[in-house]
């Protein structure tokens, strides 16, 4: 099993321990909000690389259609290819069965050099559900969780909704990122309605969506 081309090359060179950001998500499709978040986290936490980790069969998205994993992977590659610190992993999309972040973090620990620090980057709204994921306590020991917020985001209601005492684990850090109003849900809706997604994602990604007919309305069979 491999992590990603860039990280694997660093391991083969014997670069030693790293500070790796793991940007998990369906990326259906990837957009500028994801990229801005990853870059801000890389800078703020001094990360050597940020590895985008498209999910294979995400447990938390079983109630809706998710685009083919290969399409989501290819869009992530197109979106990140010009950033020398960004890479894309096939770990989760090549794994059979349902995708659990805990299993991914365990595998990363085994593959990376001893002493490597992992920073799992996600949105602030997702932290509440993260603490309810499979083996949540163990996950918080395997990686530091970095939760991105919008400017002016009120954390008080989030803390209260997670823990009775209003406190979060030490392994969870919030940081403010501009431009998080863009969402994959909105991009899918715009494409299905024939509307523009220009300046919301990379042109290469928008072209891929058009060329492969992703998110087009499903015609009813009558």
Per-residue model confidence as pLDDT tens digits over 73-129: 999 999 999 999 999 999 999 988 887 889 999 999 999 999 999 999 988 877 777
Mean of the pLDDT values across residues 204-216? 96
What range defines the domain where residue 48 resides?
18-211
In a domain, 92, yes or no: yes
- Asked, for residue 30, whether it belongs to a domain, the answer is yes
pLDDT digits (tens, 9 = 90+) for 22-45: 999 999 999 999 999 999 999 999
Q: Which CATH number fits the domain that encloses residue 58?
A: 3.40.50.620
In a domain, 3, yes or no: no
In a domain, residue 192? The reply is yes
Instruction: Say if CB 56 and CB 94 are below 8 A apart.
Output: yes
User: What are residue 196's phi and psi, to 5 degrees?
Assistant: -75, 145
Q: What would the two tokens of residue 105 be? A: 């973090």
Give first-to-last CA distance, the chain, whole Å. 46
Residue 145 binned pLDDT confidence (cut-offs 50, 70, 90): very high
Gyration radius from the chain CA atoms: 18
Q: How far is CA 167 from the centre of its chain?
A: 24
pLDDT surpasses 60 at 219:
no
Give me the sign of the Cα torsion angle 11, 16, 18, 24: positive
Q: What is the mean pLDDT of residues 153-172?
A: 67
Does residue 9 sit within a domain?
no
As for how many domains the chain has, the answer is: 1
Query: How buried is 181 (Cβ within 10 angstroms: 0-12 exposed, 13-18 middle, 19+ buried)?
Result: exposed
Q: Per-residue confidence at 220, pLDDT binned at 50, 70, 90?
A: very low
User: Which residues have CB under 8 Å from 62's CB, separation 6+?
Assistant: none
Question: Residues of the chain with pLDDT > 90: what percent?
Answer: 63
Task: Say how far apart CA 151 and CA 213 lie, in whole Å.
Answer: 35
Q: Which residues contact 153 (CB under 8 A, 6 or more apart)?
A: 124, 176
130, part of any domain? yes
Distance (Å, whole) CA 155 – CA 158:
5
- Would you state the structure tokens that stand for residue 113, as one six-digit string? 């050099």
C-alpha to C-alpha distance for 148 and 35, rounded to whole angstroms: 12
Q: What is the pLDDT of residues 46-70, one digit of tens each?
A: 999 999 999 987 655 555 688 999 9
């Amino acid at each position: 099993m491999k992590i990603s081309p860039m990280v694997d090359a660093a391991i083969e060179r014997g670069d030693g321990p790293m500070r790796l950001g793991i940007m998990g998500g369906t990326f259906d499709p990837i957009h500028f909000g994801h990229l801005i978040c990853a870059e801000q986290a890389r800078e703020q936490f001094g990360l050597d690389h940020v590895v985008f980790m498209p999910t294979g069969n995400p447990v938390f998205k079983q109630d809706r259609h998710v685009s083919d994993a290969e399409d989501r992977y290819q869009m992530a590659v197109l979106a990140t290819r010009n950033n020398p610190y960004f890479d894309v992993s096939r770990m989760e999309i090549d794994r059979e069965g349902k995708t659990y972040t805990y299993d991914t973090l365990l595998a990363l620990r085994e593959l990376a050099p001893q002493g490597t620090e992992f920073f799992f980057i996600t949105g602030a709204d997702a932290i509440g559900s993260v603490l309810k994921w499979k083996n949540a306590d163990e996950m918080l020991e395997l990686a530091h969780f970095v939760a991105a917020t919008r400017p002016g985001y009120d954390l008080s209601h989030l803390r209260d909704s997670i823990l009775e005492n209003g406190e979060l684990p030490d392994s969870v850090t919030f940081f403010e990122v501009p431009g998080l109003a863009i969402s994959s849900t909105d991009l899918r809706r715009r494409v299905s309605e024939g509307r523009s997604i220009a300046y919301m994602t990379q042109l290469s990604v928008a072209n891929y969506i058009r060329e492969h007919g992703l998110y087009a309305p499903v015609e009813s069979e009558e």
